[in-house]
Amino acid sequence: MIAQIVPIKKIRSNLELLSYLVPESLQANIRVGQRVIVPFRSSQIVGLVWQIDQFTSADQVSRKLKSITQLIDQTEFIDLNLRRLIDWVAEYYITPRPTVLASAIPELFYRLNRRARPVKILSQNQNQAQQLILAPYLNYPRMDQLRSRSDFIEYSQSLSHQEQIQIWQKVASGEQVVVFGTYQPVYLPFKNLRQITIFEPENDLFKYEQNPKVHISVVAKKLAEIHGSKLVIKSYASVSSSSSSIQVANISSEKRLINFQTDSWLESRLAKNRRVIIFYNVYDIKEGESRFGIKSLKADLAKRFPDLKIAIIDRDIDLRQNLDAFQIIIGTAKMLYLSKIIKGDLLVPIIDPLLDRPDFQPNKILAQINKLGRFSQSILIQTKKPDHPFIAAIRLGSITEYLADVKQKKQKLGQFPYGFWIRLTYSDQSAEICIHETEKLVQDLTSHLGGVIDVFGPTLSISQSKTKKHRYSILVKVRDDHTGSSLRDIRAVFLKLKKPWSIDPHPVNLV
């Protein structure tokens, strides 16, 4: 008997299934989904039984296979549903199964050294109703009321190993639980998952930046499909502000960011003792490179309103302070992730660079405006492009129809974010080496996979590297159904790439 084992270990290779002989003493008890201890290179590691093969021919017996050392579980540690999810994540996000497993399972379940042995787990099979709630960050304000429930559980990597083990065992036993978290909970061994609720699925924080680079809201939708769970989506993109509360200021002839129209609006809001929230959400403009930098904006406002207290979120103030002390609050995208709710009237002074991006996503822009402006009595959006379809739809109150039309057109053409996109990035201290390696890969991909993919690039990545290295990216769009054979061919090629290449399936943006 031969067992195909997935080592529970993060690796940078296409090594996924290892073959081991099953000793006669274990053959009666071994099952798919159990953990075992196996020899791996010069040490012992924990792996998961993924497949069991009966051999009959002499050549199979004669293969020089090592034997399983020890069986840890008497019953399956990971059931069929969770194995299906891990299989899907490994295929869809082009990641070796060992890496997915090591990311999904609490470390104590597979840690093996002289002082520790993997924790055993016993399932009680209570099969009570279970729920999963996902939000883009842990201090999510809308969870405050649920935290008082006796069956409410917050599950994250910030918990101790022992706390993670206890929650895993409680979920695996089928107890009634409402599990809340951001990333880790999707891999819990749910027995009777009735409902999955996702808050702000369009939020970029759901994109996990470590391997496997999954988008949690996408994984959660697959999890709901596997379990047959009810899926509830709570998106700010579907919450339309009152059209009468939104004003659009045409500043095409203005040279100043705080111009006559803005000045009049600010005066009217402040005269009514309304706080003003200024959402400075422009990724493309680096501070210091534009006269519209966030510090300059604060300085201009301080000259115009010298008696008012003005703050830049997370720079000028400690968020433990009372935000009510400030009449004007300026914030970047980080303001979207605060645990405190800031109430006031919303000003969006710069929106045009977001409209010009090649990965323009109107639903994401609308969701951000709706989230920050949900308590606003008045919202002002400044633009030099008042006739842009997105701006016109907001002004005319037809944003719902506009979003549906854009989605339909983009889906039909496979335009971003629809269709299946993959970003390949190469980093090095030398720009010349980056260019050479990326251009070489473009040629190789076009030669070997030209019938199933379109390749764009290479281009210089605008995202900053902590190591100050140059980063060049290639974008790959899969032409065919990405669940079919084309993705398996692509996966086989991409898994052979070594550092300093990085693979990001389904990136949240193109630039």
pLDDT at 397: 86
Q: Is the pLDDT at 465 greater than 80, yes or no?
A: no
Distances (CA, A) of 103 to 71, 143, 210, 214: 22, 25, 9, 11
Beta bridge partners of 62: none
Give yes or no for residue 311 having a pLDDT over 50.
yes
Residues of the chain with CATH 3.30.70.330: 420-505
Looking at the domain that runs over 2-109, which CATH code has it been given?
A: 3.40.1440.60
Provide mean pLDDT across the span 227-253.
83
pLDDT at res. 124: 67
- The mean pLDDT of 168-185, rounded to a whole number, is 94
Q: What is the pLDDT of residue 10?
A: 78
Give the pLDDT confidence of 392-406 residue by residue, as tens digits: 999 888 999 999 999
Q: List every span in the chain annotated with CATH 3.40.50.300.
A: 130-234, 241-411
**Percent of the chain residues topping a pLDDT of 90:** 60
Comparison of pLDDT for 84 and 119, the residue scoring more: 84
The CA distances from residue 198 to 136, 149, 155, 225, 354, in Å, are 9, 19, 15, 14, 25
Q: Are strands 379-383 and 152-154 parallel, antiparallel or unpaired?
A: unpaired
Q: How many residues does the chain have?
A: 511
Question: Regarding beta strands 35-40 and 276-279, do their DSSP bridges make them parallel or antiparallel, or are they unpaired?
Answer: unpaired
- The radius of gyration of the chain from alpha carbons, rounded to an integer in Å, stands at 26
CA distance 35 to 38: 10
- pLDDT band for position 482 (cuts 50, 70, 90): low
Give bridge partners of residue 502 from the DSSP assignment. Answer: 425
Closest CA to 284 of 276, 292, 295: 292
Q: 354: which 2 tokens?
A: 């977001």
Find out whether 321 and 250 touch, Cβ atoms under 8 Å: no
**How far apart are the C-alpha atoms of 153 and 150, rounded to whole Å?**
8
- So what's the pLDDT on residue 333? 83
The half-sphere exposure of 122 on its side-chain side, counting CA atoms within 13 A, is 1
- Give 139's DSSP letter: T
Stretch 215-229: mean pLDDT: 97
Q: What is the pLDDT of residues 365-383, one digit of tens each?
A: 999 999 999 999 999 999 9
3-state secondary structure of 376: coil
CA distance 465 to 501: 14
Distance CA 445, CA 493 (A): 9
Q: Is 309:317 a contact under the CB 8 Å cutoff?
A: no
Phi, psi of 103 (to 5 degrees): -75, -30
Q: Is the pLDDT of residue 284 over 50?
A: no
- DSSP 3-state assignment of 447? helix
pLDDT, mean of residues 28-53: 94
Residue 401: CB atoms within 10 A of its CB come to: 11
The CATH code of domain 241-411 reads 3.40.50.300
User: What CA–CA distance (Å, rounded) separates 446 from 465?
Assistant: 28
- pLDDT higher than threshold 70 for residue 446: yes
What CATH architecture applies to the domain 420-505? Answer: 2-Layer Sandwich (3.30)
**Looking at the domain covering 130-234, what would its CATH class be?**
alpha beta
> How much is the pLDDT for 337?
85
